[in-house]
Amino acid sequence: MQQYKTITKQIGKIYVIQLLNYIIGFLLFIFLTRALSQYEFGIYSILGVSILFLVGLLTFGLEVFLVKELPGKPEKEKQEKFSQIFTFLSISTPIIVVILLIGTFFILNKLEQGAIYLPSLFAFLSAGIIALGSIISNYFYSKKQTVVASIIDFLIKTLWTIPLIIIIFVKKINIDLVFSSKLVITLMVFFIIIIFSKIKNLRFFTRVNKEFIVKALRFSIPLSTLVITQWIITASDRYILGFFHSAIKVGQYSFIYSIMNFIFIFCTAAVIITIFPYAVESFNKGNQKQSNFLLNSSLKYITVLTLPCVAGFFLLAKELVTIISGAKYIETILIVPLLMIFPLAEGANTVFRRALVIHKKTKMVALLYLQAMLINIVLNFILIPKYHYYGAAIATSLTYLILLIQFIIKSKKYVILDHNYLRFSRIVLSTIIMGFSIAFIHPKNIYATLSTICLGVLVYLISLFFTKAYVKGEMDLVKSFISRRKKLDHN
């Protein structure tokens, strides 16, 4: 019970950080869709997903190796392994970034898109800094200091948006200014993180043991290829949209995709960040039953959060899109039902993927995503030329649905689903009740829309209680927090 209380507290604290991250990111999204043209927003979207790809590529998946390898190990051993990996990446990252920048220069000139090179330069350099920062955050994550790791992630990945939002209020912006701001602020934050880590007695550089690095890369390189395939799944539709149609279509599609991605991240990140290291530690100590339970918990809580968020956005799509961007993107709400599967399926994929990683089945994970990538590319080339962003949305949802089915089949031996605990049917019923409570409300302004959302949340929580979506142990845990809070207030 004590471990569950610790996990619950950490999830709560991380959700505060994630909520801040979500609000700032969403504000930037609103301001950019209003301040940039649809063409510029399309370019911003392409470079944004390119940064995500580069961060994964530059780390070789070694951040996952740290999370898998370090829990339960002596402190000195943790420090030594981290230092070797950080030293290796500090050498490899600048080399790879320079090579990519040279290649990008020639490719863009060949395509007569040289104007995009400067923001690409800023984006690539930012990716290199974020990659090194993510290794530091994952070191703290492996030690179950999940709140510290989340703060570092927030600082290195999100803080740059605050000065940019301020700049948007005082002057007209362009793509160059967006990514130059990202580079400057990210670099400053990186040095602050280094200073903080040194205060925590973290050693960054040491003599590299080639055998250890080779061992680490054997585990992580399949996950590095996973990053590449994930990026292609995420980005190929945008590149193909731009090729067959225009950057305007890319911007329109990216608008709805970004909202769905916000839902996915918000509903998934805090749960996975908090629970996964405990699942790894339990597995490393031989307690596979406890590890399996924690994976089931991750899947349940992600579903509890994602399902009503997706349903709510579907029901209030017109009102929410109008609040975010005005009438500029209103026609894109027709994509919403076609993309609803994406956050639901990928949320579940996140859990099954980590279950396979715990059992060191990284090659299997890489193979599944490779298959999904090929399916996605084929679907994009079939659907996008004729159906533009509708085709892209269908291809994305089908890809993640097929991937989910594959993960369920392949992970049967490694994670046993406890349906008496998961209670998916009751979560679905609660979501349907919530949907009916707001389906016939058509709010006319932002205040009415927010009130409708609050009503939906309240009805959903009450429905979860009355449908008994939670098992007794979970309710006891909630009651223990309530009674403890009352005791503290009384004192």
> Domain for residue 150, yes or no?
yes
Q: pLDDT band for 14, please (50, 70, 90 cuts).
A: low
Q: Is residue 436 part of a domain?
A: no
pLDDT at 37 over 80: no
Instruction: Report pLDDT digits (tens) over 20-35.
Output: 777 787 778 777 877 7
What secondary structure does DSSP assign to 327-340, as a single string?
A: TTTGGGGGGHHHHT
- Domain-embedded: residue 486: no
In a domain, 478, yes or no: no
Report pLDDT digits (tens) over 237-293: 877 887 787 777 777 787 888 888 888 887 887 777 777 777 877 887 778 888 888
Q: CA 56 to CA 131: how far, in whole Å?
A: 7
- What's the whole-number mean pLDDT along residues 167-185? 84
Confidence at residue 419, expressed as pLDDT on a 0 to 100 scale: 83
Q: Does some domain include residue 438?
A: no
Annotate 384-450 with DSSP letters as a single string. HHHHHHHHHHHHHHHHHHHHHHHHHHHTTTT----HHHH-HHHHHHHHHHHHHHHTT----SHHHHH
State residue 378's pLDDT score. 92
- Span 361-384, average pLDDT: 88
Nearest Cα neighbor of 234 from 382, 400, 366 is: 400
For residue 489, tell me if it sits in a domain.
Answer: no
- How far lies 59's CA from each of 32, 136, 174, 205, 370, in Å? 29, 11, 30, 16, 19
Q: Provide the domain count of the chain.
A: 1
Q: Give pLDDT, residue 4.
A: 52
Residue 484 lies inside a defined structural domain of this protein = no
483 in a structural domain: no
* Residue 283 lies in domain: 2-422
Listed residue (202, 123, 418) closest to 294, CA to CA: 418
Query: Which residue reads 């006891």 in tokens?
Result: 476
pLDDT at residue 477 greater than cutoff 50:
no
CB 44 within 8 A of CB 175: yes
